[in-house]
Structure 1
């Protein structure tokens, strides 16, 4: 007998489950004080509607708009049981349910959505695997960003100055705080440091629905590296004039600050106070910012032998050194080099900019097309070559050993007629086929 009640219970459950309440949205995040509309709908008219928000239950009537939670929708007759929450409260974080009568039977139908009342996280923390203040180029660097006590968990993004970091970002980990509905998010970053990282700010940025703007925590990276050249090969200083002062300027990168010395013939010149009549003066490297330095040698008066000489520059710091060969030129600096030295290409000793190279390529293409058109026209007797063709006849009885006419004459016009028969091709030369003599 106990089997019958169980079967009846399963039947009622199936009937109830067949009557589904559609609720939207199913999840929502709102700040305290925000507005929220929760809409429940069934495919048949209803005569009552209730909604449970937090610990309170509200009977929703289209005619009553004075409560904190009021009716929203086109009407009960359309099966709509909507609730407008005018001002979200902190204590309403959790489930919101709507309750409607069934189309048949006596068991009310319920649908539930999840409301998350946003709570801003605390200030983010940036934790590194070491307390050292500076790093060497090539060092492996790890950092962790922690954004605690948010509801929901915050979103974390990484930047190097204003540039978003996408490589070296590990999977974020979200952990609930014990005894609380707040969540802490943490994310690791790993990176091999380069000279380009020096002086830049590593930023962890936390964004959250309850914040008016993102919260940042940052650390400036100090990366040390030996001197580095800005261009490969020998350096040429242009625009110097015989008999006038000449300045040899070379830009290098280094951290820490470099020292420099020049070799002029047999003379080694280092930055130091010089006499007023010194022919050659070396200046201390001038910091341009961002690890860039300008190293300068001054020639009080440029002589012809100075143009024929190679100057050698050695730049060093405690991590290493770099050497440069420098030549002088009285010619003006090429325009392409002035525009953008990074696009210079040395072709057999001639420096060409990207614009000049593109022009040369276009000119070569035009020339190739023109030559192809001329060859095609000549081969097919078209256009300006159309009038050059003429017919060449070989009279009957002519000596078969007689010289053949020129190739162009044999080819003839586009549709030639031959009184002496057809030609037989042999290789690249066409010979007339000799017919046997026929008695008249």
Structure 2
């Protein structure tokens, strides 16, 4: 019986709609309806308005699920759920307030206004959608379990059986990505049409997307907060990221020094290998004075590497240290140098001072050696001037001519040494050169 009455009402609406297309002069007459479309929920209050630019004598509404026309005027209160609203029939206002929306009100509502000019009724249409919240959105993640940086992924989110259709938007944490490619499918259910929405997103992941949340947000008036989220945390794998050459300063020569920390960004955890002058030291191992420490995680996919040098030498500061970090997705080499090699032992001396002291020490050593040798051999570089009083300025100069004269001179000196002393201030020197003989006393 109810179905027959609904069919009769629809037929009446169609007939009235046909009549309303023309006025007394054959022109269309359509009421201005506000809103044209409205989505609401059960229990909410809804205002509908139809108006024309003429005074009207009557105001009627046909609401889906209500068996009779609702005749309205400012004083009409026959139904507890419906009220007239507007500025009066004389101003062409035909408004309806629905105090509490019911699910059977879903559909097209029609307003019918009778003008006082004797012409045809004016008709307006308003689509009322009683919102039904869809199921919570779901992200299909079967194809994105193992992500690799710089590669494109394709994900799909669905919002099932909603009325009206949900609007889906994609986010990466708080970063808006966009709506994606959308498809809306009708889902009949118990004679009512619901809508399922599929949204597909293509996105190229980056290393810094690791641990961020990919969010499918479905907006719908049926949700208590107006929207609902589906979230999926990304696990992005990538090789250790490259970085410029690192210079370590402030190390003290002679002490146990640490090169580092060298910050490495990678996922998963990298394996470390140091190379020093061709010597390879794997993480956790010690070779000679070098200890390669195991990496320490200090953040999300961030690892600190370090190399300990026992008793840092000046030569260590001139070397270039190479660190290789590798995981299943690749390897990256890093170069590290020790800068500021002015640091010295506890004496506080700089490199220039050390070199100067070394040179001075060598000079002193050379002088000492020369003195010792000269004393042993009795050969002095100034012997000709100081060993004998007969120098260039004496009155009688001795100039031996040949080996015989020199031998005679040495024998004469020897015989003179054997003679008794004649006095502390009386020294006699005798010399024979073959041509002249003289005595000089000092």
1:93-129 C-alpha deviation (Å, 9 max, x unpaired): 111222221344464332111111111110112124x
Change (3 A) 1:305 1:58: same
1:89-238 equivalent positions in 2, closer than 5 A:
89-105=102-118, 107-128=120-141, 130-131=142-143, 133-166=145-178, 170-178=180-188, 179-213=191-225, 214-229=227-242, 231-232=243-244, 234-238=245-249
- Residue in structure 2 matched with residue 34 of structure 1 by the alignment: 44
Q: Residues of 1 paired with 2:341 and 2:143: CA distance?
A: 53
- Residue in structure 1 matched with residue 75 of structure 2 by the alignment: 63
Q: What secondary structure sits across from 1:77 in the alignment?
A: helix
State the 1:33 CA deviation. 1.4
- Residue in structure 1 matched with residue 60 of structure 2 by the alignment: 50
Note if 1:76 corresponds to 2:89.
yes
Decide whether the 8 Å contact of 1:242 with 1:330 is kept in 2.
no
1:384-423 equivalent positions in 2, closer than 5 A:
none
* RMSD, aligned α-carbons: 2.7
- Residue in structure 2 matched with residue 258 of structure 1 by the alignment: 270
Of 240, 247, 262, which residue of structure 1 is paired with 2:258? 247
- Residue in structure 2 matched with residue 364 of structure 1 by the alignment: none
1:129-165 C-alpha deviation (Å, 9 max, x unpaired): x546313334332111111111111111112222221
State the 1:303 CA deviation. 2.7
Q: Residues of 1 paired with 2:159 and 2:92: CA distance?
A: 44
Note if 1:322 corresponds to 2:332.
yes
State the 1:204 CA deviation. 0.9
State the 1:266 CA deviation. 4.5
1:151-204 C-alpha deviation (Å, 9 max, x unpaired): 1111111122222214xx643112221353211111111123332333222221
Q: Residues of 2 paired with 1:109 and 1:193: CA distance?
A: 58
Change (3 A) 1:48 1:142: same
Aligned residues: 317
State the 1:69 CA deviation. 1.0
Which structure has the greater CA radius of gyration? 2
Decide whether the 8 Å contact of 1:20 with 1:109 is kept in 2.
yes
Q: Residues of 2 paired with 1:266 and 1:121: CA distance?
A: 65
- Residue in structure 1 matched with residue 35 of structure 2 by the alignment: 25
Unaligned residue ranges in structure 1 (runs of 5+) = 1-8, 333-440
Q: What secondary structure sits across from 2:57 in the alignment?
A: coil
Q: Residues of 2 paired with 1:29 and 1:132: CA distance?
A: 36
Decide whether the 8 Å contact of 1:241 with 1:330 is kept in 2.
no
Decide whether the 8 Å contact of 2:57 with 2:115 is kept in 1.
no
- Residue in structure 2 matched with residue 389 of structure 1 by the alignment: none
TM-score normalised to the size of structure 1?
A: 0.66
